[in-house]
A = this chain, B = another copy of it.
Amino acid sequence: MPHTPRKKPRQARSQATQAIIIEAAARILEAPSEPSLTTNAIAEKAGISIGSLYQYFPDKRAILASLLRREWQIMLDAMSENIRRQTSAKAAIDAFIDIAIAHQFSRPRMSQRLELLEQSLDLDDDVLALSVEIQTRVLTVLQRYLPDASADMARDIVTICKAMINDSTRMDLTPGADLKHRLSAAVFGYLQAISPAR
């Protein structure tokens, strides 16, 4: 009987191994020589055999989806914690911009290559849900700043931030001092220009 990837055999150990595999994929993505992200390479980097890898993930796509989910969850956690402690709406949006920059530059090469993958992969709903959740949180913060902010505006803001930050990593792997300034201009400029009451 051909094996379906073995179900959570002994929860704790299994989850740890999954995390190791996911991190191995991340380490390959951030390697400067840009080695190709093959399943064999992931298994080797994780220190397990290729056969074992397929006991924890049904296929390669699932590994990358899990990595994406991990990264988005990190973003969400940072946003939740950091946004709560802000007082003014403007400060909350500023905090979001800082978080987005810090996250992408914490592992710039990985983030870059992962964003490319994100577009070619077609993701399952449970992963997309996290992406939607991020936009929802952004919308919540926006509405403190502009009461009539819409979901479309939140999506635009996220799109602009991702594009400008990603573009920035392509030129330089450490954040230039002006990136924050330019990104703030883009975000707040957009908000002011699109706000009807002005």
Contacts of A164 in B (CB 8 A): 156, 159-160, 163
Contacts of A185 in B (CB 8 A): 190, 193-194
A 123-155 contacts with B by CB, 8 A = 152-153, 155
A116 at the A/B interface (Cβ < 8 Å)?
yes
Number of copies: 2
Q: Contact size class for A?
A: 20 to 34
Cross-chain contact B182 with A189 (CB below 8 angstroms): no
Q: Which residue in chain B gives the minimum CB-CB distance to A186?
A: B190
Contact of A193 among B155, B156, B162, B186 (CB under 8 A): B186
Q: Which residue in chain B gives the minimum CB-CB distance to A192?
A: B189
Contacts of A189 in B (CB 8 A): 186, 188-194
Most buried by B among A153, A162, A182, A193: A193
Alpha-carbon distance between A194 and B152 when the two chains are bound, in angstroms: 23
Contact of A182 among B152, B178, B188 (CB under 8 A): B152
Q: Which residue in chain B gives the minimum CB-CB distance to A194?
A: B185
A4 at the A/B interface (Cβ < 8 Å)?
no
Q: Which residue in chain B gives the minimum CB-CB distance to A171?
A: B155
A119 at the A/B interface (Cβ < 8 Å)?
yes
Contacts of A119 in B (CB 8 A): 116
Alpha-carbon distance between A164 and B184 when the two chains are bound, in angstroms: 17
**Contacts A189-B189, A190-B185, A193-B186: A152 and B167 contacting too (C-beta < 8 A)?**
no
Alpha-carbon distance between A119 and B159 when the two chains are bound, in angstroms: 17
Residues of A within 8 A of B (CB): 116, 119-120, 152-153, 155-156, 159-160, 162-164, 167, 178, 181-182, 184-186, 188-194
New contact pairs (5) apart from A116-B119, A116-B120, CB-CB < 8 Å: A152-B182, A156-B182, A162-B163, A185-B194, A186-B193
